[in-house]
Amino acid sequence: MASMAAGSCISFKAYNPCLPLHPPKRSVSNFTIRSIASPIRPSPPVVVPFPNIDTSTPPTHVAWTSIRQDQWEGQLSIQGQLPRWLNGTYLRNGPGVWNIGNYNFRHLFDGYATIVKLQFEDGRLIAGHRQIESNAYKAAMKNQKVCYREFSEVPKTDNFLAYVGELANLFSGVSLTDNANTGVVKLGDSRVVCLTETQKGSIIINPSTLETMGKFEYSDSLGGLIHSAHPIVTDSEFLTLLPDLLNPGYLVVRMEPGSNERKVIGRVNCKGGPAPGWVHSFPVTENYVVVPEMPLRYCAQNLLRAEPTPLYKFEWRPESKAFMHVMCKASGNIVASVEVPLFITFHFINAYEERDEKGRITAVIADCCEHNANPLILDRLRLHNLRRFSLKHALPDARVGRFRIPLDGSGHGKLEAALDPDEHGRGMDMCSFNPAYLGKKYRYAYACGAKRPCNFPNTLTKIDLVKKKAKNWYESGAIPSEPFFVARPGATEEDDGVVISMVSGKNGEGYALLLDGSTFEEIARAKFPYGLPYGLHGCWIPKN
């Protein structure tokens, strides 16, 4: 691994985008990936109490109910007209089973993965879904109980010795879930992999039949138990982050198409806190990988508990501050590590490089769906809160947070709203953009916003980052999932394409929705013969 280059200002002719104009005085140590344990520090975390719970049974929206059958496939009738150029398959992953018998899971992130497809071909639409047959799912169905550690669920043990054994399995990774319920990506070699935050939860599926094909096994010796749930995947590479919970930091790694071997680009050491911050996603630019360090940090003590805390496997440590690190993709050099205002984000949108009039890179701009540094967003995603809407459980405010990370050696960066949050109802998450603009300056983003009062994002919104305006789609009582942008082949305009979302309707129905990427007007919808639970993230597989 290359160490950080030393030196003062470089000449314009010799300018290398992977060197800072004034390199920060910080070295890069040798990397290690170890067990999930992290050393205990004396400084106390901020305590976020659970609110009081009304245990009476509320009416349940179809979005928060388990899907009723293991698999289904059929042709959908279309209202409106599908673009003739739209040929390929949209896949959406997410937690579709939230109960085992009469036992109900507690959190949105716990459910067993259901993969849904929309296969577009010459104006026709074939849809279907199938359960991902992870070991966690198969064991739960066989034994009718939770057998692996999910986001907030822990296997129940009969006695103390069994509990000690379960903890041993936790440290070895045996008891961690492989429930790949978060995302789905198409690798450069056309393999399709479903993912979650545990490395063992990487599962290959057949994108046509949705059949579970087996585990995606990493062939390197990097070890570790967790990684970013959202890698950066293109036809030429796979980039991801591996948090190191014992020696707090992150490995930045790359994998080439056709390979299962991750290779280290470099390491970032944390600048604050007893453990690295949660890194659910991260952005890249053309030359850099941006590594966020949130004050919402992994917590071994919480991970070891038999019952979840309000912040689950994390703790909120504002005294540890927040940082953004910038690493050169080519060399592994760290070109900036700056303190930024406190923030909480699940999802980064995109990032790009800012240049001066002489073409020198002076800063990195990184956009995210930012929850106003409010850790209560995790509690609001408990299924009980989602199933029972009340104003006291209202959706916390969120915005498009824009970081400016200077590369001039200064120690501080900025975080501001990229546009007025009222444009999108002060709700913002589940984002996409035109993938041709990955790592480049871009104008449009698509996400889920809010029409209030609500306790969950309930609109689809198109953000114009130049005009600082938003267009919103809303249907009363409906809960749409991530709006996914698919560009028209040969398009020259950034927003020339369609936006696909799957919607859970207020009357128990489910339908696929297509919006025009430019006007954001509905062009088609196709109703499923059953209700769809809420899903998370998707990918597009064009027809060969």
Q: Can you say which residues are annotated as belonging to the binding site?
A: 230, 280, 347, 537
Enumerate long-range contacts of 387-391, CB under 8 Å, 24 or more apart. 387/58, 387/60, 387/61, 387/64, 388/54, 388/58, 389/454, 389/455, 390/455, 391/453
Paired sense of beta strands 538-542 and 322-328, if any = unpaired
Name which of 267, 297, 257, 220 is nearest 40 in CA terms: 297
Q: For residues 228 and 378, what is the distance between their CA atoms, to the nearest angstrom?
A: 17
As a residue count, the chain comes to 544
Known binding-site residue numbers for Fe cation: 230, 280, 347, 537
DSSP state of 43: S
Phi, psi of 135, deg, nearest 5: -60, -35
CB atoms within 10 A of CB 40: 9
CB atoms within 10 A of CB 355: 13
CA dihedral (370, 373, 378, 379) positive or negative: negative
Name which of 155, 134, 133 is nearest 144 in CA terms: 155
Taking the alpha carbons at both ends of the chain, their separation in whole angstroms is 38
Q: For residues 263 and 252, what is the distance between their CA atoms, to the nearest angstrom?
A: 9
Q: For residues 207 and 411, what is the distance between their CA atoms, to the nearest angstrom?
A: 46
**Cis ω before 283 (30° cut-off from 0):** no
Burial 114-125 (b: 16+ CB within 10 A, else e): bbbbbbbeeeeb
